[in-house]
């Protein structure tokens, strides 16, 4: 009886999975190799640049004073910071109501390093820590979420073993 109820409750999921697989073309060319760079619009260009360089250790690759923008990298990801054109007209992002980048997730090498990064970030006066390191689901992966000086949400995530 229990097996029959379980099978009946799983049937819609199995059908959905089967139809999704059936609808997938056999050969799809993989056009994308990975993320080349990420561009973030920021309200405070200098404070956001300082966060990425002075706090997280990114290097400045260059800048464009006319745009204005900074181009930063940690040799794994390149981030472009663009200053919002009209600060008086800017609209703060609301992840529940706006279409756009929900958050940027950056990997951290270990759970120990994530904990150390949290302690480091607690000493910064221009960021908001939304939550401290915690299990993602039932673990062992842990993550934490912050807002950098311009308000962009950044998740730091350590994949546990």
Q: What pLDDT digit, counting tens, does each position of 35-74 carry?
A: 889 999 999 999 999 999 999 999 999 999 999 999 999 9
Q: Are 151 and 43 in contact (CB under 8 A)?
A: yes
Neighbours of 7 (CB within 10 A): 10
Closest CA to 146 of 124, 123, 128: 128
Q: Select from 90, 86, 114, 109 the least CA-distant residue to 100.
A: 90
Cis peptide before 101 (omega within 30 of 0): no
Of 133 and 13, more confident = 133
The Cα 100–Cα 98 span in angstroms is 6
Q: What is the chain's mean pLDDT, rounded? A: 84
Give the mean pLDDT of 74-91: 88
Residue 158, beta-bridge partner list: 142
pTM: 0.74
In three-state secondary structure terms, 98 is coil
**Residues 107-116: pLDDT tens digits?**
999 999 999 9
Q: Which parts of the chain fold into alpha helices (H)?
A: 2-22, 45-50, 111-122
**Is the pLDDT confidence value at 13 over 50?**
no
Residue 134: in which H helix or E strand, if any?
strand 128-135
**Structural contact between residues 144 and 134, judged by C-beta atoms closer than 8 angstroms:** yes
> What value does the mean pLDDT take over residues 129-153?
95
- How far is Cα 134 from Cα 56, in angstroms, rounded to an integer? 20
């Amino acid at each position: 009886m229990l097996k029959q109820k379980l099978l009946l409750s799983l049937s819609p999921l199995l059908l959905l999975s089967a139809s999704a697989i059936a609808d997938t073309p056999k050969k799809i060319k993989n056009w994308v190799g990975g993320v080349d760079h990420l561009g973030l619009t920021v309200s405070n260009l200098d404070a956001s640049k300082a966060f990425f360089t002075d706090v997280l250790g990114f290097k400045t690759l260059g800048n464009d004073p006319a745009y204005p923008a900074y181009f930063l990298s940690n040799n794994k990801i390149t981030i472009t910071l663009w200053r919002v054109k009209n600060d008086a007209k800017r609209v703060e992002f609301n992840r529940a109501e706006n279409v756009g980048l929900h958050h940027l997730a950056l990997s951290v090498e270990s759970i120990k390093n994530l904990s150390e990064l949290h302690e480091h970030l607690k000493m910064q006066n221009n960021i908001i820590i939304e939550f401290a390191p915690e299990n993602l689901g039932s673990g062992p992966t842990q993550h934490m979420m912050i807002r950098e000086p311009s308000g962009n949400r950044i998740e730091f995530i350590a994949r546990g073993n």
